Structure 1
Amino acid sequence: MGCDIALYCEGRLDGKWINIDRWYRRSGWPEIKVMKGEGFSLVDLIDGARDYGLFYLLAGVRGSDETSSYPPIAPPRGLPDEWDALLAEEYDFRDMPDNVNVHHVSHLTLRELKESGYGEPMPLRGWVDEAEYEEMIRRTAAGRKYQLGFWDVKAGNFESRGCVLREWNGYLNLNLTSMIEKMERLKKERRIASDDEVRIVFWFDN
C-alpha cells in the first residue's frame, strides 16, 4: 500500500502561527472562511513527491533503525498546541473517526531541519552502482547537486548484486535540501527573524 504526505509550512507572525506556503495568503484576505482556491498563491515544498527516504528522515516512516545509518530527525510529536485554523480544518477533514490511515503526525522547525545536517553535503557510506558513483563524481566536480542512490551498510552486503562499497561526501536527500531552501525563501519573504519561527506541520496517509 502506498503512503502519501500532507506537509505545510507555517510562520510565526503577529504573535500567531499562520500557513505561508501552500495557502500563502495574499494581502486583504481574511484568515479563515474563504472559498478554497481564492486568495491564495499555491506552493508545495516537496512538489508532491512520494519520497520514502524523506518520509523516514522526517518521522521514521517506511524505514528502520536496523537498516539505516541515518536516523530520523525526531520521533513523531503529534500536532502543535497552536497552529493555523485553515490547516486545522484540513486535518479535521482527513482525520475523520472512521479514517484509520492518518499516522505519524508531527512538526519540525527550520532550525531543527538545518541542524540535522541532512540538507547539506555530508559524509556517506554505502553500496553503490559503480557507474552511477562515477557519474556523481563528474557532476559534483562540475558544481551540480547530485543524490547518489545507495544501499545502507546496515542493510547487508550487496556485492553479489554488482555493487561496490564506497565512502563519499554528498547529499542524503535532495528533496529535503530543496524543502529547506524553500523554507528559507519563505522566511525571507515574510521577514521572519528566527529559524524557530518557521516550521513544517505534516502527517501521512496510507
Structure 2
Amino acid sequence: MGCDIHLHVEKRVDGKWTQIIGINEPEIKYLENTIADIKARGEKADYWERLLEEEKNGTSGFIYDGRHYLLFALLAGVRNQYEITPISEPKCMPNDVSSEIKSISEEWGCDGHSHTWLTAKELTEFDWSQTVVQEGWVSENQYQVFMERGRPESWSGGVGGGRVRHVSNTEMNRILKEKYPWEENDSFYTLVKWALPYSEIVGSFYSWSVPKMKELAGNDLESARIVFWFDN
C-alpha cells in the first residue's frame, strides 16, 4: 500500500499560528506546459485546465503535494528504507496548531500517522548536500552513459523477459567492446550504483519549497512552518 503526505503551511502572526493559502508555482508551470503540449496535438485539455484552475485557487498544502519516499524519510523518517537520519523524528501535532489544520487532521482520525512539524529554520539549515546511494539495472546504452557521467539517465528496479540477460559490470564491459554474434538478439542489463545529493533527488522541494518557506518566514525563520502527517 502506498503512503501519502498531508502537508500544510502556517505563519505566526501576532503570536498566533495562522493557516497560509498559496499556489505551487512549479506545479502551475507543469500544468501550463502540459496543456500547451496537448493542444499542440489538436486534442482537448479540459481535464488539465480544470486542474490548473484548482491549483490557481491555492491551498494550504501548496508547498508540497506528492509522493516521494526519500523526501518522506528526510522529513520524518517515514518509509525510511534508505536508513538515513531525518531532519527530525515525528514530534506529534503542535499544541498551538491553527484550528483549520487541526480540524483537517481530526478528519483523518486513526488513518493519519506520524504527525509532526518543521520550521523554515529547520528546513533551511538542514544539510541537503548529503548523499544517498542509488542503484538500478541499466541497458547497454545506459551503462555507457553511466561510465561517462557517473550516473545513468534512466534505470529500472528490475528487468525480465525471455531474451533478457543479467550480467556483471565486467561482462557488460566485454559486451560493449565486442559482442559475439550469438548474443546479438539478447538484451543485456547490469546493476550499477551511484551517489546523489539529497538536494538533487528531492527536486523542486529543495529548489522551490525550501526557499519559499524562507521567503514566508522573512527575518524570523521560526515564524513559518510546515505541519504534516501521513496515511497509508
State the TM bucket, normalised to the shorter chain. 0.5 to 0.7
- Structure 1, residues 27-68: CA drift from partner, whole Å, max 9, x if none? xxxxxxxxxx9xx7436111x21111111111111124xx43
Give the partner amino acid of 2:202. Answer: N
CA separation of 1:41/1:165 partners in 2, compared to 1, >3 Å: closer, same or farther? Answer: closer
1:114 corresponding residue in structure 2 = 124
User: What does residue range 126-205 of structure 1 map to in structure 2 within 5 Å?
Assistant: 126-127=134-135, 130=143, 131=145, 162-167=190-195, 171-177=200-206, 178-187=208-217, 192-205=218-231
Give the partner amino acid of 1:45. Answer: I
1:11 corresponding residue in structure 2 = 11
Q: Distance in 1 between matches of 2:196 and 2:91?
A: 33
Q: Distance in 1 between matches of 2:98 and 2:202?
A: 28
Q: Distance in 2 between matches of 1:134 and 1:76?
A: 41
Unaligned runs of 5+ in 1: 24-36, 140-147, 152-158
Higher share of residues assigned helix: 2
1:184, distance to aligned residue in structure 2 (A) = 2.4
C-alpha contact (below 8 Å) 1:104/1:204 kept by paired residues:
yes
1:30 corresponding residue in structure 2 = none
Q: Distance in 1 between matches of 2:155 and 2:210?
A: 20
- TM norm structure 2: 0.57
C-alpha contact (below 8 Å) 1:20/1:186 kept by paired residues:
no
3-state SS of paired residue (2:222): helix
Give the partner amino acid of 2:63. Answer: L
Q: Distance in 1 between matches of 2:156 and 2:120?
A: 27
3-state SS of paired residue (1:92): helix
- TM norm structure 1: 0.64
1:142 corresponding residue in structure 2 = none
Identity between Structure 1 and Structure 2 (%) = 29
1:168, distance to aligned residue in structure 2 (A) = 5.8
